[in-house]
Amino acid sequence: MLSATTAPWWLWVVFTIVAATAQTFRNAAQRTLIDSLGTVGATHVRFIFGLPFAILFLLVVGTATGGLPALTLASFGWTAFGAISQIAATALMLMAMRERSFVVTTAYIKTEPVQVAIFATLFLGEHITPVLAAAIVIATAGVVLLSWPSRAGREIFSWRPAIYGIVAGGLFAFSAVAFRGGIGALGTAEFVPAATVTLALSLAIQTVLLSAWLIWRQPEALRKIFSLWRVSLPAGALGAFASEMWFLAFAIQNPAKVRTLALVEILIAGLVSRRLFAQSPTLRDIAGMVLVCVGIVLLFNG
């Protein structure tokens, strides 16, 4: 079995690109469910319908490798923190999508690598190089440009979608770091079983928490989720597959590098937005996304 140290250097690149592609289509599938299920219901789809696939991955990997690593208290703590952060991030992402185009919302969320650098500086004392500082400034300028009101009056300016998207990116950043911590805390060099166990645990936690919330506050939404299983199942399957790829990438590479390479999601999202939702970004949106992309590329080299 490959370990994180013996895996080919390019393997995390493959995992990341596949994950970004699957995630884009998962987001698109979830977005179509917001009107019928609401934000919390649409958020829950990726977890409750993703869990069976995560368990299937677990069974396959466990059979292939002859066993799975035992959970530790540290691994559970890291994974639970990541799971809760991801729930909040997904809900905010869908709320942002209700107010701005799919592709622009994705650009907001892709400030995540910049936020990873900021959090590392604040909480871990990491040094900010001049290149890294430039990356943060350029990416932030791109987000401001995306948020600026249209002179032509085609859009009503609101900070809400920008805030939702940026905070969602921050929470996704927290979850990426936490999941990396959870995988590492399992104490095994075999990254595939470690990543798969962490994924199954995170989806189980998320499913239990959101199901309990919906039973308490919106029981009709939970019933509706199951009534729309034909539409929800593909979103859950795509979500579980994308998450498995993300976790495999986190297991063998720094999350900041993984999320930086995930920049390709912006280009994929542009195609999905145009074809599925007939939402063409304006020239200003494109310019803003270019700045965000340049900033994240600089971050990778900083």
Which helix (H) or strand (E) covers residue 154, if one does? none
- Give the residue ranges of the chain where pLDDT is below 50: 124, 152-153, 155, 157
Nearest residue to 202 via CA among 91, 74, 15, 51: 51
Q: Which amino acid is at 107?
A: A
Nearest residue to 39 via CA among 132, 157, 164, 158: 164
Encode 9-61 in three state secondary structure: CCHHHHHHHHHHHHHHHHHHHHHCCHHHHHHHHHHHHHHHCCHHHHHHHHHHH
Distance CA 257, CA 49 (A): 29
Q: What confidence score (pLDDT) does residue 126 get?
A: 59
Q: So where are the chain's domains?
A: 11-119+159-279
Q: Which amino acid is at 48?
A: I
Q: What confidence score (pLDDT) does residue 96 get?
A: 82
Q: What confidence score (pLDDT) does residue 212 get?
A: 93
Q: What confidence score (pLDDT) does residue 242 get?
A: 93
Q: What confidence score (pLDDT) does residue 152 get?
A: 46
Distance CA 298, CA 288 (A): 15
* SS3 assignment, position 98: coil
* SS3 assignment, position 3: strand
Distance CA 35, CA 157 (A): 22
Phi, psi of 50, deg, nearest 5: -85, -30
Rounded to two decimals, the pTM is 0.81
Q: What confidence score (pLDDT) does residue 123 get?
A: 60
Locate 273 and state its tokens.
């937005």
Q: What confidence score (pLDDT) does residue 84 get?
A: 95
Q: What confidence score (pLDDT) does residue 266 get?
A: 67
- CA–CA distances in Å: residue 88 to residues 93, 100, 108: 9, 19, 15
End-to-end, the C-alpha distance of the chain in Å comes to: 33
Q: What confidence score (pLDDT) does residue 256 get?
A: 76
Q: What confidence score (pLDDT) does residue 268 get?
A: 65
Q: What confidence score (pLDDT) does residue 78 get?
A: 93
Residues 6+ apart with CB under 8 A from 132: 117, 298, 299, 302
Q: What confidence score (pLDDT) does residue 142 get?
A: 79
Report the number of secondary-structure helices (H) and strands (E) in the chain. 14, 0
Q: Give the pLDDT confidence of 78-110 residue by residue, as tens digits.
A: 999 999 998 888 888 878 877 766 666 766 777
Nearest residue to 26 via CA among 278, 240, 249: 240
Distance CA 198, CA 253 (A): 16
Distance CA 184, CA 178 (A): 10
